[in-house]
Amino acid sequence: MSLFTTTYDVIVVGGGHAGSEAAAASANMGAKTLLITMNLQNIAQMSCNPAMGGIAKGQIVREIDALGGYSGIVTDKTAIQFKMLNKSKGPAMWSPRAQSDRMQFAECWRNILEKTENLDFYQDSVNGLLFDGLTITGVKTNLGLEIKAKSVILTAGTFLNGLIHIGEKTFGGGRAGEGASTGITEDLVAKGFESGRMKTGTPPRVDGRSLDYSKMTEQPGDDNPEKFSYLPITKPLTEQRSCYLTYTNQITHDLLKEGFDRSPMFNGRIKSTGPRYCPSVEDKINRFAEKDRHQIFVEPEGWNTVEIYVNGFSTSLPEDIQDKAIRSIPGFENVKFFRYGYAIEYDYFPPTQLKHSLETKLISNLFFAGQINGTTGYEEAAAQGLMAGINAALKTQNKEPFILKRSEAYIGVLIDDLITKGTEEPYRMFTSRAEYRTLLRQDNADLRLTPKSFKLGLASEERMERVEAKKEKTTLLIDYLENLSVSKEEINPILTSKNLTPITQSMKLYKIAARPQLVFNDLLSIQKLNDFIYDNNIDSEIIEQVEIHLKYSGYIEKEKSNADKLNRLENVPIPSNFDYTKVKSLSFEAREKLTKIKPTSISQASRISGVSPSDVSVLLVYMGR
């Protein structure tokens, strides 16, 4: 098949985390897909830290896996350490995180993509877009090729008019060692799109052989590590590499301040907004002047490399200042640099210009995913890529878009936040952004999402069978506990060992197991229960589901009830051509915001900043409710 004569169903521009998931999803749903990237050696490159997951981000990776994406599988296959964060809190807060081998991660992703049917590759830079009126029809490349497509997904990362800053030096680039992408922004702005600039940064990478780990605190992985993917093709780690923790100090801060007059952050050369929750080290000591130290996480880049990622020391200060300041950190006295830190500015498009499907409102069949939408983080990008890939394939098949509600997935929260509220700084997901986080736990992403993805034809039959088995065994164990009576002779030794009040007569084990001071493992000395678990081949994953149900069913039911109420508003549609200027009872700000964002439902309208409850009531009257 020739690039000159083929019309693809979907072209994906960019081979980062968003582009890789988009290309895989689109191709796996039967769409003839082309992935165009500047450098095929850098597919799914971890441009920043060598890790996946973390608070709320870990939930997103599990959701991607449950939907049939690959980020969880690749992370499991290339992990060098695994941790379940927030285990001391309730299960809604538990968040998986893994350190990855950077080189293996990219290699594993490429191997998976190369084995994907319906997926072609092409190495080139896209510098223009082809339109027929208000419909995308393809792309133009740097070599002058015009490649036709029914739909296009832009996942350009930090490459759109990318500008790298190190001290007083500035040069074009999408990341260190790679050129920027030009032409796409200009074509979109000419079509009426609004664009903006954002900034992100990265720390130095150093030679681990030059560090003194005896001056740092070791941070090993979990004793019994878990994994991301629900599929048995990946296994938990049996060996792990440790990270280390050290701190900046007042000397570090004073040395960093010496370079402030040459810092692009402070001398006006960088005008765009950086990530609030991952600030540069100079930004931290400027904004939090009262703090006399900041954490520095020393993260290995893989199994077989000495390269170290200095997490917490993101900076665009001049090289000599980076060099001096980092040597004042305990353990870094004799450090050797591999790469200096830098900041990068790039174009993005305010995401209020998108529909829930991630298709643009202005141009049909054009989708945006990842940092082009103002997000930060591999996980947020991968989730958007997956959803854009699914929806681009569905669009070419003349099917309805696949949209996740806020009560169904963190991915639903992420996309709804972006298109409804927009973002003026790089958006990062947190558990606090999700009003239904007790429903959206990392442990039940497969139960929530795999049936939906299976209906689309993306999640495999094996995934669906495992979900059904998980449901059946969870119900089986809950029913057993509800019906099993235990005598005081059986249970009181367990209760007294935990300093709990003993029972005076036989009681259903379900009631006893719901006590917050008990964990399920405390009950396994009851022979009948132990035999039942063994006979029915019930594993730790099922036991975890049952324990969460026992202890949190009240909270879960309350959240479900709240979600159902709001979902009723989700079912009150607003016509796309509705004229808000005629509704004089709406506040001026509400009319302005509603006209700009064009919400598709009353529920979405209620989440727009500046739309008050009284405005929502007015809209409900107009919609016949």
Bind-site residues for FAD:
14-19, 126, 181, 371
DSSP string, 34-55: EEEES-GGGTT---S-SEEE-T
User: Which tokens is 373 given?
Assistant: 């939408």
Element at 248 (helix H, strand E): none
Rounded to 10 degrees, the C-alpha dihedral 281/283/288/291 comes to 20
Q: Where are the beta strands (DSSP E) in 471-608?
A: 485-486, 507-508
Pick the closest to residue 586 from 555, 544, 623 (CA basis): 623
User: Which tokens is 372 given?
Assistant: 């082009």
CB atoms within 10 A of CB 80: 24
Which residue type is seen at 92? A
User: Residue 466 half-sphere exposure, CB side, CA atoms within 13 Å?
Assistant: 20
User: Which tokens is 92 given?
Assistant: 């809604």
Pick the closest to residue 273 from 426, 428, 427 (CA basis): 426
Taking the C-alpha atoms of residue 64 and residue 71, their distance in angstroms, rounded to an integer, is 7
Q: What is the DSSP letter of 168?
A: T
Which residue type is seen at 569? L
Grouping H, G, I as helix, E, B as strand and the rest as coil, residue 568 is helix
CB atoms within 10 A of CB 309: 27
Taking the C-alpha atoms of residue 554 and residue 451, their distance in angstroms, rounded to an integer, is 25
Which residue type is seen at 217? T
Grouping H, G, I as helix, E, B as strand and the rest as coil, residue 171 is strand
Which residue type is seen at 113? L
Contact present, 403 and 567 (Cβ < 8 Å): no
CB atoms within 10 A of CB 475: 14
* 346 CA to centre of own chain: 20
* Diameter over CA atoms, the chain: 84
Binding residues for NAD(+): 274-288
Element at 299 (helix H, strand E): strand 295-300
User: Which tokens is 405 given?
Assistant: 């509600």
Taking the C-alpha atoms of residue 60 and residue 55, their distance in angstroms, rounded to an integer, is 10
Taking the C-alpha atoms of residue 6 and residue 9, their distance in angstroms, rounded to an integer, is 10
Pick the closest to residue 296 from 327, 262, 342, 259 (CA basis): 327
Binding residues: 14-19, 126, 181, 274-288, 371
Beta partners for 139? Answer: 129, 147
Contact present, 404 and 436 (Cβ < 8 Å): no
Contact present, 405 and 568 (Cβ < 8 Å): no
Which residue type is seen at 536? N
Taking the C-alpha atoms of residue 105 and residue 86, their distance in angstroms, rounded to an integer, is 25
